[in-house]
Amino acid sequence: MRVLIVGSGISGCTAARLLADEGHDVEVWEARDHTGGNCHDERSGGVTVHKYGPHLFHTNDRKVWDFLSRFTAWKAYRHTVVAETALGRILIPYSPLTERKLGRALTDEEIRELIFVDYSEKQWGIAWAELPAAIKGRVPTRRRDEDDRYFTDEYQGQPADGYAELFARMLEGIPVMTGQDKEAWRERRSAVDRVIYTGKIDEYFGCSLGRLPYRSLRFEHRRSRERLPHAVINQCNRLPHTREYDHAYFSLEDPEETVITREYPLAHDAFNEPYYPMPFGEGQALYQRYKELAAAEEGTLFLGRLATYSYLDMWMAVAQAMVKVGAILKKSHLEA
Ligand code: UDP
């Protein structure tokens, strides 16, 4: 089978590897000048910089962990997040550890006000009352145990040589065309049996039903000889940025100068990147209409955050690709 994969983020790379492993003829097209999508990182002055925001790998899915472990060893990074709140700096999610620091227990309502309302409203540009439960519930309100980590998944770590290297290894032996015109892949359509598309689903259909909404980010980077006291400090207040982080923590580095980034959320437009899909309200209704068009699209599989318009973590993107590409492989075995 000849397969054209449009986009080389974690979904595209996983699909490409799974198909190539089974002997299929795969080519990958990428508009950016690098692979790895938003997981891409770069070494800069002794620091591994997460160019498109912090990526911390975690999963409870053994198959996903084993698959990625074929291409990388892992650094035992322990991710913790501290929030700047009206009651000072506290560890989140809220747990008995925070309770001890504050000297009293907070009610669910107090936790919501302290940690979630301001941060979420600036992150999503939507009033708290309008936000769907799926977003509100992404971070647990409270944890009963004394685990100080942000994620509790069984498998956690950072790729030992960085994400860029992980993706380069996943794509070994597969032709990859980077720096391509965004629409040029269409010219290859008739030369292949299948397309796996990981770009924005609305753009696949020429935005014929309208543009899907996304949240974007503006990054303000600075070099600093002074480290932040924590890897990530969330601003749970009305300051314009949502979080600040020190990249040296993420890869357990100890450089002379680190890189510190402030993240400012904003609406997505023609000039910035679509970081977060907004699969609720009008966004979800419009996506459902594109999804119907996609279902009728013979020979194209839609994968990943942008093509399935869902807020996928890295592990979820890998798991989704494993399931959906697995189904194609099964079908091609049956047809063979
Ligand atoms: N959130 C919040 N306060 C925080 C951290 C998270 O209100 O201090 C909410 C917010 O709505 C955010 C969501 O939880 O968008 C998911 O947070 P997560 O840290 O998973 O965001 P990501 O790293 O994916 O941007």
**Domain range for residue 199?**
2-35+171-211+278-335
Question: How long, in residues, is the chain?
Answer: 336
Residue 336 confidence (pLDDT) above 80: no
Tell me the CA–centroid distance for residue 123 and ligand 1, in Å.
Answer: 8
Has residue 140 been placed in a domain? yes
In the residue annotation, 263 being an active-site residue is answered as yes
| Co-location of 9 and 106 in the same domain | no
- Residue 232: its pLDDT value, please? 98
4-10 average pLDDT score: 98
Is residue 149 very low, low, confident or very high in pLDDT (cuts 50, 70, 90)?
Answer: very high
User: Could you read off the pLDDT of 254-277 as tens digits, one per residue?
Assistant: 999 999 999 999 999 999 999 999
pTM above threshold 0.85: yes
Has residue 49 been placed in a domain? no
Does the CB atom of residue 111 touch ligand 1 within 6 A? no
Q: 92 vs 140, 217, 232, 235, CA distance in Å?
A: 9, 22, 11, 12
In the residue annotation, 142 being an active-site residue is answered as yes
Does the CB atom of residue 245 touch ligand 1 within 6 A? no
| Co-location of 203 and 116 in the same domain | no
| Co-location of 200 and 293 in the same domain | yes
- Looking at ligand 1, which residue's alpha carbon is closest to its atom 3? 116
Distance CA 171, CA 17 (A): 6
Atom of ligand 1 nearest to the CA of 139: 14
Q: 189 vs 21, 27, 71, 192, 295, CA distance in Å?
A: 22, 12, 30, 6, 18
Look up the CATH number of the domain holding residue 290: 3.40.50.720
Residue 247 confidence (pLDDT) above 90: yes
Over pLDDT 70: what percentage of the chain? 100
| Co-location of 207 and 303 in the same domain | yes
Residue bearing tokens 């924590």: 230
- Residue 40: its pLDDT value, please? 98
Has residue 20 been placed in a domain? yes
- Residue 50: its pLDDT value, please? 98
Has residue 119 been placed in a domain? yes
Atom of ligand 1 nearest to the CA of 92: 8
Atom of ligand 1 nearest to the CA of 115: 3
In the residue annotation, 256 being an active-site residue is answered as no
User: Could you read off the pLDDT of 83-106 as tens digits, one per residue?
Assistant: 999 999 999 999 999 999 999 999
Residue 198 confidence (pLDDT) above 80: yes
| Co-location of 221 and 263 in the same domain | yes
| Co-location of 97 and 137 in the same domain | yes
Tell me the CA–centroid distance for residue 217 and ligand 1, in Å.
Answer: 14
Distance CA 57, CA 167 (A): 14
Has residue 47 been placed in a domain? no
Q: Are 227 and 47 in contact (CB under 8 A)?
A: no
224-253 average pLDDT score: 98
Does the CB atom of residue 135 touch ligand 1 within 6 A? yes
Is residue 138 very low, low, confident or very high in pLDDT (cuts 50, 70, 90)?
Answer: confident
Largest CA distance in the chain: 67
| Co-location of 262 and 188 in the same domain | no
Has residue 273 been placed in a domain? no
Distance CA 324, CA 260 (A): 38
Q: Indicate the number of domains in the chain.
A: 2
Does the CB atom of residue 234 touch ligand 1 within 6 A? yes
Tell me the CA–centroid distance for residue 263 and ligand 1, in Å.
Answer: 12
Ligand 1: residue of 10, 139, 216, 305 to mutate (most ligand atoms within 8 A of CB) is: 139
Is residue 140 very low, low, confident or very high in pLDDT (cuts 50, 70, 90)?
Answer: confident
Does the CB atom of residue 236 touch ligand 1 within 6 A? yes
| Co-location of 203 and 302 in the same domain | yes
Distance CA 116, CA 29 (A): 39
Q: Which of 138, 189, 218, 223 is catalytic?
A: 138
Has residue 63 been placed in a domain? no
Has residue 116 been placed in a domain? yes
Residue 73 confidence (pLDDT) above 90: yes
- Residue 131: its pLDDT value, please? 94
Tell me the CA–centroid distance for residue 140 and ligand 1, in Å.
Answer: 10
